[in-house]
Amino acid sequence: MTPNILFQSDTVLVIDKPAGLAVHAGPSGGPSLEAHLPALQMGKRHLPQPAHRLDQDTAGCLVLGRTRPALAELGGYFARGEARKTYWALLVGDLPGESGEVTAPLLKTSTARDGWRMVVDAKGQAARTLWRMLGRAEGLSWVEFRPLTGRTHQLRAHARHLGHPILGDGRYGGGAGAMRLLARRIQLPGIDVTAPVPGHMRAEIARCGG
């Protein structure tokens, strides 16, 4: 099924990417957004292309450029930090406090046993994330994340650094199952789009008062 379109203009699409759908086809195969691009072309000369990254297991707002000039312009917004991204996540355990900022540099590391991941390391790239508590339930915290930088796996690694990994994020200690991370809102010049809460997060957000 083609992902739902949340916003459409002559030059830009914002789609609701399902969790589990990779943005780019990988060497091991599996479903990817690339297979759906012809259905999203809708008369344009070129296939739409994603303007930024979104992890395979993250649901929510993904921005695509429908023309080459639009894609270049969108890429500039993301590169200059002019795109405001808001995420919702369900974290394992009771995160203390109501808001805060994680300032922890991230470095990519790899082992034969566990594969690659991002770790907090002084030799890594600077990474900053704002967080705000939205609700709590026993053993669970519902938080809003706003990344101020765009490092790979930034929210996942920063959640682990807080001692409360994202629920379902097996790579960073959050256990098995679907990862509870949603790209909830994207704001760009002239664009403000919000994604609905996916089915695999609704019950737990309701437990937390949402």
Quick: pLDDT tens for 155-179.
999 999 999 999 999 999 999 999 9
Instruction: Determine the 3-state secondary structure of 161 from DSSP.
Output: helix
Q: How many domains does the chain have?
A: 1
**Among this protein's residues, is 94 annotated catalytic?**
no
Domain that holds residue 126: 4-207
Ranking 21-30, 124-133, 148-157, 181-190 by mean pLDDT, the lowest is: 21-30
Give the per-residue pLDDT at 82: 93
Is there a contact between 133 and 85 (Cβ–Cβ < 8 Å)? no
Which letter does DSSP use for residue 120 in this model? E
Contacts of 52 (CB under 8 A, 6+ apart): 62, 63, 74, 75, 78, 83, 150
Average pLDDT of span 177-183: 97
**Mean predicted lDDT score pLDDT of the chain:** 95
Q: In this model, does residue 67 exceed pLDDT 70?
A: yes
Average pLDDT of span 143-147: 98
Report long-range pairs for 196-201 (Cβ below 8 Å, ≥24 apart). Answer: 196/16, 197/88, 198/18, 198/19, 198/59, 198/60, 200/19, 201/59, 201/88, 201/90
Average pLDDT of span 188-210: 96
pTM here?
0.94
Strand partners for 12: 65
Average pLDDT of span 176-192: 96
For 165, the enclosing helix (H) or strand (E) is: none
Give the per-residue pLDDT at 125: 97
Average pLDDT of span 44-63: 95
Q: In this model, does residue 190 exceed pLDDT 70?
A: yes
Strand partners for 9: none
One-letter amino acid for residue 23 of the chain: V
More confident residue, 62 or 24: 62
Q: Out of 16, 55, 57, 169, which one is annotated catalytic?
A: 55
Quick: pLDDT tens for 109-133.
988 777 889 999 999 999 999 999 9
Residue 160 CA to residue 172 CA, distance in Å, equals 6
What is the CATH number for 69?
3.30.2350.10
Give the per-residue pLDDT at 103: 97
pLDDT band at 108 (very low <50, low <70, confident <90, very high): very high
Helix boundaries (H) for the chain: 37-41, 68-79, 154-161, 199-207
Q: What angle do CA 113, 117, 184 make, to 5 degrees?
A: 135
